[in-house]
Amino acid sequence: MECLVEEGNATAVLGPMMIAVERGCVPVVEWFVQRDCLDMEICLALMAATSSSQVDIAEYLLPHVPQHVLSAISIEILEATSERSGGSLDGVVFLLRSDFLGDPTATTQLLTALLDLLKTLLLLTSRLFFKRMVRCGFFGWTETRGSTCLEPRADCKMG
């Protein structure tokens, strides 16, 4: 790594560090962090680690991200982690269990805000689904090619 960065005159280490994070290469990540990465680079690496479920790397990186940075973009960290996780919530669980904000009350408030957001999104999605069902009918309907909703079957007596 040293020859890649120092002898290769690399001006940015974020790309190689992110690849190491996503692939779970702890020694390479440690090497980059020990070379005085910027706070935001470490924070981005933390997001990459949690969203790719590299919990061991996230555990290493978390203490290196200053608390004021974590507090300022905590919602963005959790959103990125959950959106890019590929279905696994290991990174989100790690962040919440580790009390990554350093204050149980703040972490609880953040979790409550996220749950409220999820509840709102679920309600909106449900409303859209049921409006579509009411508009297009419910029983005895079948999907036709190119339609934006369900079309009634020819033998349907429901409506």
Break the chain into its structural domains and give their ranges: 1-102, 103-159
Check residue 31 and give left, alpha or beta (phi > 0: left; psi -120 to 50: alpha): alpha
The answer to whether 63 and 39 are in contact (CB under 8 A) is no
Task: Give the pLDDT confidence score for residue 150 in this predicted structure.
Answer: 52
Task: Give the pLDDT confidence score for residue 24 in this predicted structure.
Answer: 92
For the ranges 5-19, 39-53, 103-117, the maximum mean pLDDT occurs at 39-53
- Digit-coded pLDDT (tens) for 44-70: 999 899 888 899 999 999 999 988 888
The answer to whether 78 and 115 are in contact (CB under 8 A) is no
Taken in order 66, 72, 73, 78, is the CA torsion positive or negative? positive
φ/ψ of 152, rounded to 5, equals: -70, 145
The single-letter code of the amino acid at 35 is R
Integer Cα distance of 154 and 123 in angstroms: 33
